[in-house]
Amino acid sequence: MTEVKAKGQKPSGPVGAKRRVVTREQILTVFPEQTLGVHRSFAGDVWAQFKSHKGAVFGAAVFLTIVFLVFFGPMIWTIDPTFVDIRSRNQGASFAHPLGTDQLGRDLLARVLSGGRVSLAVGLTAMALSLLFGSTIGVIAGYFRRMDGPLMRFTDLFLALPLLPLLLVIVMLFREKLSGVLGPEGGIFILMVSAIGLTSWMQTARIVRGDVLALKEREFVLAAKSIGTPSRRIITRHVLPNVLSPIMVSATLGIATAIITESALSFLGLGFPPDFPTWGRLLFDAIDYTRDYPGRVIWPGLAISLTVLSVNYIGDGLRDALDPRLRGR
């Protein structure tokens, strides 16, 4: 019979007290087998909690499928999305064109797949940019007291800007200039990504600032300070790893907003050029044909909605999984 000390029991009791011995069997009635003797890591804990959120697992599966399809699909489905075959225009679903063709005879499946590449790329890059801004401003505002006031006023001012009209104006104004310098596709991509990134960092900054403010008062930061660790290293070693969870949650939400914003701009005719398919652009192009060919609107729209829905569910699950109060319940 192996002897294991009970959890929380001090190794040596007060002098003269009888040492209490707990058997492994007794512990096993309280703690299930798998929790004993297994090294429990943070990532493992998070994964265990994430797994229990059905919607999140389903969302992750759908999102990964979409990413997989969009990145490897064009290698299998090799029809050029911009290939014009005017004789087979406006076709319905067939073996040659599973989703049909558009008014110029371009294959819709190929267009949805390559459109997804652009939409997802815009979403991911814009999210990364907005996270970079948001966490930098949030950490600086939370950590350095002198910067807190000005930076947070700045954030509030940005929150009060009418974003959609401003985005429309920005895209309209700089499209020509950037296209001239970087080529039509590269220029509009950089413009879109930076415009969306620059107008969506505020929520992240606020959340990160709040967390950093609380972290700053904790003992381990005080300990690091007392041995003379420079601020830069305290931030990178101690603060940043601890605010990773809110940053990850706002990352998922950021992807969703970025994809919706890009599609909304494309939908209003102010996004990527017409020969450069994205989901929003495909939707915009198909609107005029809604009456006769509703399928053409539904596929790109469904792609956008499914992606955003799955990302939102992942975010929901991550929030639960990364919250230590909810985890392990």
Partner 1 sequence: MLTYTFRRTLVSIPTLLFIAFVIFFIVKLSPSDPTGNLPLTIPPEVREKIRESLGVNQPFLVQFFLWLKQIVVTEPLHWMNETFGTQFEIGQRILSYQTRSPVMDLIVQRMPQTLWVVGTSYVVGVLIAVPIGIISAYRQYSWFDQAGTFVSMVGFSVPPFFSGVLVIILFSIIIPRESMFWLPSIYDTTHEVVGWESFKFQFRQMIMPVMVLALQTTAQISRFLRASMLDNLNQDYVRTARAKGVKERSVVLLHALRNSMIPVITVIALGVPAIFGGAIITEQIFKVNGLGQLLIIAIQGGDVPTVQTITFMFAGLIVLFNLIADILYGVFDPRIRYD
In the complex, which residues of this chain contact partner 1 (CB under 8 A)? 55, 156-157, 160-166, 168-170, 172-173, 176-177, 256, 260, 263-264, 267-270, 280, 283, 287, 290-291, 294, 297-298, 301-302, 304-305, 308-309, 312-313, 316
Instruction: Retrieve residue 119's tokens.
Output: 């939409």
Residue closer to partner 1 by CB (options 21, 164) is 164
Burial 96-110 (b: 16+ CB within 10 A, else e): ebebbbbeebbbbbb
Q: Give the number of residues written for the chain.
A: 329
- Is 104 or 163 the residue whose CB approaches partner 1 more closely? 163
Q: What one-letter code names the amino acid at 54? A: K
Instruction: Tell the smallest beta-carbon distance from residue 159 to partner 1 (Å).
Output: 8
Question: Which amino acid is residue 93, in one-letter code?
Answer: A
Taking the least distance from each CB to partner 1, the nearer of 173 and 223 is 173
- 58 by DSSP, 3-state: which? helix
Give whichever of 235 and 321 is closer to partner 1, judged by the CB atom. Answer: 321
**C-alpha span between 321 and 233 (Å, rounded):** 28
Question: Smallest gap, in angstroms, from Cβ of residue 272 to partner 1?
Answer: 15
Residues forming a β-bridge with 272: none
Q: Report, in Å, the least distance between residue 268 CB and partner 1.
A: 6
Ranges of H-type helices in the chain: 24-30, 42-52, 54-76, 108-143, 145-159, 163-182, 184-198, 202-216, 219-226, 231-234, 240-242, 244-267, 279-286, 295-322
Q: What is the distance between the alpha carbons of residues 156 and 45, in angstroms, rounded to a whole number?
A: 36
Cβ proximity to partner 1: between 106 and 296 the closer is 296
**Distance (Å, rounded) from C-alpha 79 to C-alpha 87?**
16
Shortest distance, CB of residue 299 to partner 1, whole angstroms? Answer: 11
Give the C-alpha separation, 50 to 34, whole Å. 18
Question: Considering the complex, what minimum distance in angstroms separates the CB of residue 157 from partner 1?
Answer: 5
- The distance of closest approach from Cβ of residue 298 to partner 1 in the complex, given in angstroms and rounded to an integer, is 7
The secondary element (H helix, E strand) that includes residue 161 is none
Least Å distance, CB 127 to partner 1, is: 16
